[in-house]
Amino acid sequence: MSFQKTLTEDRRLSLLLMLAETPGYRANAFLLRDAIAEVYGHDASIDQVKTDVAWLAEQGLVSQTITGEVVMAALTARGVDAAAGRATVPGVKRPMP
């Protein structure tokens, strides 16, 4: 497994974990970018975060709404399960026990 793949999978898990801790289980991509940098040390660009949110939406882990340049992500029940380690999703790192 390449370092880039590991980094991407961990960044996706970090996004799910941040949404799980957010009131209403939703946040915009700009806030998510800042939060995963501060909490998990991911220095991601806004484009990377938006791409990850779109990918997570394709997997059914979040729902995505776009208004202008603002991308909102809302955690789904499947996303909650993946963040908690109850569901395994290829492309998302499993959380540590």
Residue 18 located in a structural domain: yes
pLDDT at position 39:
96
| Burial classification of residue 53, based on how many CB atoms lie within 10 Å of its CB (0-12 exposed, 13-18 middle, 19 or more buried) | buried
pTM for this entry: 0.95
Report yes or no on 97 lying in a domain.
no
In a domain, 95, yes or no: no
pLDDT of residue 1: 72
Q: Is residue 93 part of a domain?
A: no
Q: What is the mean pLDDT of each run of 10 residues along the chain (97 residues)?
A: 93 98 96 97 97 98 96 98 96 92
What CATH number has the domain bearing residue 34? 1.10.10.10
**Considering its fold, how many domains does the chain have in total?**
1
pLDDT at 97: 79
| Domain ranges, residue 27 | 3-82
Using an 8 Å Cβ cutoff, are 74 and 32 in contact?
no
Asked whether residue 94 is assigned to any structural domain, the reply reads no
